[in-house]
């Protein structure tokens, strides 16, 4: 040991660093750097001697067992990919799922002799493979040594040995490399590194011991294997659908998803835990604090990127991020949810996109969405900070929750839309849906935030000139009115509101809200007497450019005459419920939402009456037609047609088109579509696989957003 009392010799100051500033961590001392990149690899020597060689080196090893060839059995029509449900991935590499056996064929230089020969199969992942970390896994088929992964010899024929290998059900998810080693008296020799022996290991919802096991074949097929998504938007009284190609099997998407975890510097050793993977990804899908995948934009100005309403699927977004290493512009909630869905399904975690209608975004951290009215009953927009989104999309992913009490596994909410920070980053979840339903808002992660999104009360206050607030109305049923997702195996919608909350007025509902209050979720307990006059606004369905009338109906429940001084205001709103300050036509058609609020004061009683109505304006549609034989590997043709129905020209128009399993994303630019004129775009494509799918198209320009069209296509072999 050095003499600690010795006076140190002064040394010159080190030169100023010229590279990037090193990250400060709280890991303390470690024997080796933590591996955080799946793409980094370490070459393992082809020969490891047991002893030092003599003066003449080692004798020739030709008389001992050697490896001539390794067949990963990685073709789509071979058993590995078929049995592991990975035939749809556009990859020449072997892709399997953990907790389930796969097979490899090893050809030796002579017949294998179990009594004399010893060989092993090794798997490594990351830049610093270690046995203790689960990143170096030796597998011994002859069972002379134990391994964390099971293996067995399933067949021998001449020089060929077929080995069955079963990764642990909690194995790290990612890209591995496989080596085959044989033991000689002088040392271990192993195959050269060869990319053909790479393999991906994914989560396995078919394996009972995997944390993501989903014991429902129809749900599992939908939430892991289906590429064709339907995302619900619009308004509670006027629900709209948006088709989306998740594209989780498209070429390069799996590598892009693994890169997202590399970019986050997530330790390789954490990548077998779906809770940690989902939480890390909820931060990485947005770019707010970590240069993640997507840049959010609710401004209406998309000059430097693609408008959120223009995307047709996740493939272009993920591949652009993977290739450029830069965040992709732009996204809003449904884009975040759709791309997150692709990430989860691609890695094998069952996932679905969920839409909550009238979703509260409460800036005060309570269970109240506060609406401040002035003394005349008009909304005071300067003092009303909370907002109610017309709809909000998030994801659910399916997994066990060993960190929570029994019964809170299953569907978990995760949300990549950057709304509020969680543990210092813009992310949300995973939060147990069961915990949300039963008011267990203290459970990790972010259950209280999601609980408020579907359970907040809308509280109206009247503010006097002196600044005092008087409670005038509490609406306990407006928020979280409807929660939808796609029906498994169908193109219809499925109401899952009852999975998040008990029916309004139900005994359990009151118990849940009281429990949430115990955990610090404050809500409005007062119930002001209801006004004896009701106000009803008519439901409207109108298209952009149409004139319309709005009817107000006042219902007097008293036996006396009532006089109401009413005020009606209409404004353009974003789907987030935020009112636009601009009055331009382009803003109107982009948002396609009008929000009306009527407030009034009953002259005889002084009571305040209020009613709101959201009107979603309907856009023109694209016409999509598909023609051709409808057979795999035979050319077909998709035609997109559009007629400009307006009295003004459309400038800077982009049309995008793609189809799961049949057409990769394509787009075309039109500088001008004059008033009343039509366009036709024809694109040829060759289907790669059979089944029912859709061709999806969007039209987008600064003056017109959210124009969609689709055509169903049935492909046969």
The pLDDT tens digits of the residues spanning 501-510 come to 999 878 888 7
Q: Was 446 annotated as part of a binding site?
A: no
Catalytic-role residue among 392, 397, 438, 446 = 392
| Helix, strand, coil abundance in the chain, percent, nearest 5 | 15, 40, 45
Is residue 407 within 8 A of residue 283, CB to CB? The reply is no
pLDDT at 523 (0 to 100): 73
CA-to-CA dists, residue 221 to 86, 101, 226, angstroms: 12, 20, 6
Q: How far apart are CA 506 and CA 612, in angstroms?
A: 25
Per residue in 646-659, pLDDT (tens digit) is: 999 999 999 999 99
Query: Do 462 and 601 fall within a single domain?
Result: no
Which burial class, exposed, middle or buried, applies to 612 when counting CB atoms under 10 A from its CB (0-12, 13-18, 19+)?
Answer: middle
Task: Choose among 351, 318, 122: nearest CA to 220.
Answer: 351
Highest mean pLDDT range out of 115-119, 183-187, 709-713?
A: 709-713
User: Does any domain span residue 277?
Assistant: yes
SS3 assignment for 235-284: ECCEEEEEEEECCCCCCCHHHHHHHHHHHCCCCHHHCCCHHHHHHHHHHH
The answer as to whether 427 is a domain residue is yes
How much is the pLDDT for 586? 44
Domain range spanning residue 542? 533-618
Number of domains in the chain: 4
In a domain, 525, yes or no: no
pLDDT tens-place string over residues 282-336? 999 999 989 999 999 998 899 999 999 999 999 999 999 999 999 999 999 999 9
How high is the mean pLDDT of the chain? 88
- Alpha carbon dihedral 137, 138, 140, 146, in 10-degree steps, equals -60
418-454 burial, b at 16+ Cβ within 10 Å, e below that, comes to bbeebeebbbbbbbbbbbbbbbbbebbbbbbbbbbbb
Question: Do residues 246 and 344 share a domain?
Answer: yes
Query: What span, in angstroms and rounded, lies between the C-alpha atoms of 283 and 530?
Result: 44
Highest average pLDDT, of 5-9, 405-409, 581-585, comes from: 405-409
Q: Are residues 255 and 286 in the same domain?
A: yes
Q: 315 and 665 in contact (C-beta within 8 Å)?
A: yes
Q: How many percent of the chain have pLDDT more than 90? A: 62
Per-residue confidence (pLDDT) for residue 13, from 0 to 100: 39
Same domain, 144 and 187: yes
Q: Which residue in the list 223, 257, 329, 333 is annotated as catalytic?
A: 333
Residue 210 is assigned to a ligand binding site: no
> According to the model, what pLDDT value does residue 57 have?
67
- Residue 41, both tokens: 């690899």
415 counts as catalytic = yes
Roughly what angle, to the nearest 10 degrees, separates helices 333-347 and 274-284?
Answer: 150
With respect to residue 215, please indicate whether it lies within any of the assigned structural domains: no
Query: The CATH number of the domain where 467 resides is what?
Result: 3.90.260.10
Q: If we measure between CA atoms, which residue out of 308, 244, 98 comes closest to residue 659?
A: 244
Chain mean position to CA 40 = 25
Span 631-643, pLDDT tens digits: 999 999 999 999 9
pLDDT at res. 365: 57
Strands 457-463 and 368-373 turn out to be parallel
**Same-domain check for residues 230 and 192:** no
Catalytic residue, from 210, 273, 415, 446: name it.
415
Residue 8 lies in a domain: no
Residue 31's pLDDT is 56
Q: What integer pLDDT is reported at residue 592 of this predicted model?
A: 64
> Tokens 């109107």 sit at which residue?
588
675-695 confidence digits (pLDDT tens): 999 999 999 999 989 999 999
Domain C-terminal end among 592, 618, 644: 618
For residue 537, give the CATH number of its domain: 2.60.40.10
Q: Is 265 known to sit in a ligand binding site? A: no
CA atoms of 5 and 470, how far apart (whole Å): 73
Is 600 a residue whose pLDDT tops 80?
yes
The pLDDT tens digits of the residues spanning 531-571 come to: 899 888 888 888 887 888 888 899 999 999 999 988 887 77
Instruction: Evaluate the omega torsion of the peptide bond into residue 445 and state whether it is cis, within 30 degrees of 0.
Output: yes
Residue 197 sits in the same domain as residue 112 = yes
Q: What is the pTM of this model?
A: 0.90
Task: Tell me: is residue 376 an annotated ligand-binding position.
Answer: no
CB under 8 A, 24+ apart: contacts of 86-93: 86/202, 88/225, 88/249, 88/661, 88/689, 89/249, 89/254, 90/249, 90/250, 90/251, 91/200, 91/251, 91/254, 93/195, 93/198, 93/199, 93/200
Query: Among 558, 588, 618, which residue terminates a domain?
Result: 618
Residue 161 has pLDDT above 60, yes or no: yes
Read off the pLDDT band of 587 (50, 70, 90).
Answer: low
Max mean pLDDT range (423-437, 521-535, 538-552)? 423-437
Task: For residue 233, indicate whether it is catalytic.
Answer: no
**Residue 437 and residue 497: Cα distance in Å, rounded?**
10
| 341 and 288 belong to one structural domain | yes
Q: Is 155 a catalytic residue?
A: no
Gap between the Cα atoms of 179 and 401, Å rounded? 35
């Amino acid at each position: 040991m050095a003499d600690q009392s010795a006076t140190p010799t002064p040394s010159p100051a080190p030169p100023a660093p010229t590279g990037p500033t090193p990250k400060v961590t709280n890991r303390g001392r470690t024997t080796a750097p933590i591996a955080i990149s799946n793409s980094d690899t370490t070459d393992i020597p082809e020969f490891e001697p047991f002893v030092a060689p003599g003066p003449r080196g080692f004798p020739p090893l030709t008389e001992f067992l050697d490896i001539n060839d390794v067949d990963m059995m990685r073709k789509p029509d071979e058993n590995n990919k078929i049995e592991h449900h990975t035939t749809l991935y556009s990859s020449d590499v072997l892709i399997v799922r953990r907790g389930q056996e796969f097979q490899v064929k090893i050809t030796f230089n002579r017949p294998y002799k179990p009594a004399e020969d010893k060989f092993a199969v090794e798997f490594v992942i990351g830049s610093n493979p270690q046995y203790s970390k689960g990143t170096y896994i030796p597998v011994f088929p002859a069972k002379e040594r134990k391994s964390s992964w099971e293996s067995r010899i399933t067949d021998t024929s001449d020089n060929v040995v077929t080995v069955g290998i079963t990764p642990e059900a909690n194995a790290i998810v990612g890209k591995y490399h496989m080596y085959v080693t044989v033991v000689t008296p002088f040392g271990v020799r192993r195959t050269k590194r060869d990319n053909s022996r790479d393999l991906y290991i994914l989560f396995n919802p078919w394996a009972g011991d995997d944390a993501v096991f989903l014991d429902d074949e129809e749900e599992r097929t939908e939430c892991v294997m289906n590429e064709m998504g339907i995302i619900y938007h619009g308004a509670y009284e006027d629900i709209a659908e948006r088709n989306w190609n998740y594209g989780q099997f498209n070429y390069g998407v799996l590598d892009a998803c693994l890169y997202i975890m590399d970019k986050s510097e997530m330790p390789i050793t954490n990548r077998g835990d779906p809770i940690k993977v989902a939480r890390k990804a909820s931060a990485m899908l947005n770019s707010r604090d970590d240069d993640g995948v997507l840049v959010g934009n609710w401004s209406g100005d998309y000059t430097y990127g693609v408008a959120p309403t223009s995307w047709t699927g996740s493939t272009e977004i993920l591949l652009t991020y993977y290739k450029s290493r830069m965040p992709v512009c732009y996204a809003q909630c449904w884009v975040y949810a759709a791309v997150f869905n692709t990430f989860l399904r691609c890695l094998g975690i069952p996932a679905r996109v969920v839409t909550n209608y009238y979703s509260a975004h409460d800036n005060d951290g309570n269970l109240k969405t506060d609406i401040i009215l002035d003394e005349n009953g008009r909304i005071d927009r300067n003092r009303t900070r909370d907002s109610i989104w017309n709809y909000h999309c998030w994801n659910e992913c399916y997994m066990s929750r060993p960190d929570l009490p029994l019964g809170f596994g299953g569907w978990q909410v995760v949300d990549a839309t950057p709304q509020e920070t969680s543990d210092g980053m813009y992310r949300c979840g995973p939060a147990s849906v069961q915990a949300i339903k039963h008011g267990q808002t203290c459970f990790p992660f972010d259950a209280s935030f999601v609980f408020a999104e579907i359970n907040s009360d809308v509280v109206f206050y009247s503010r006097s000139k002196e600044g005092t607030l008087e409670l005038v109305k509490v609406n306990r049923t407006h928020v979280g009115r409807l929660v939808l997702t796609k029906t498994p195996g169908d193109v219809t919608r499925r109401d899952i509101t009852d999975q998040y909350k008990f029916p309004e007025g139900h005994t359990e509902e009151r118990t849940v809200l009281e429990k949430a209050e115990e955990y610090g979720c404050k809500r409005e307990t007062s119930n002001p007497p209801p006004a004896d006059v009701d106000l009803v606004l008519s439901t409207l369905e109108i298209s952009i450019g149409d004139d319309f009338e709005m009817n107000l109906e006042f219902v007097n429940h008293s036996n006396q005459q009532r006089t109401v001084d009413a005020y009606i205001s209409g404004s353009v709103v974003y789907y987030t419920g935020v009112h636009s300050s601009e009055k331009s036509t382009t803003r109107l058609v982009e948002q396609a939402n009008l929000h009306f609020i009527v407030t009034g004061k009953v002259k005889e009683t002084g009571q305040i009456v209020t009613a709101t109505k959201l009107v979603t304006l309907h856009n023109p549609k694209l016409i999509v037609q598909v023609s051709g034989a409808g057979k795999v590997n035979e050319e077909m043709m998709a035609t997109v047609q559009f007629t400009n129905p307006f009295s003004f020209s459309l400038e800077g128009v982009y049309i995008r088109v793609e189809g799961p399993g049949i057409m990769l994303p394509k787009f075309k630019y039109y500088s001008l579509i004059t008033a009343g004129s039509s366009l036709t775009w024809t694109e040829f494509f060759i289907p790669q696989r059979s089944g029912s799918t859709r061709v999806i198209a969007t039209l987008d320009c600064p003056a017109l957003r959210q124009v969609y069209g689709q055509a169903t296509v049935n492909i046969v072999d």
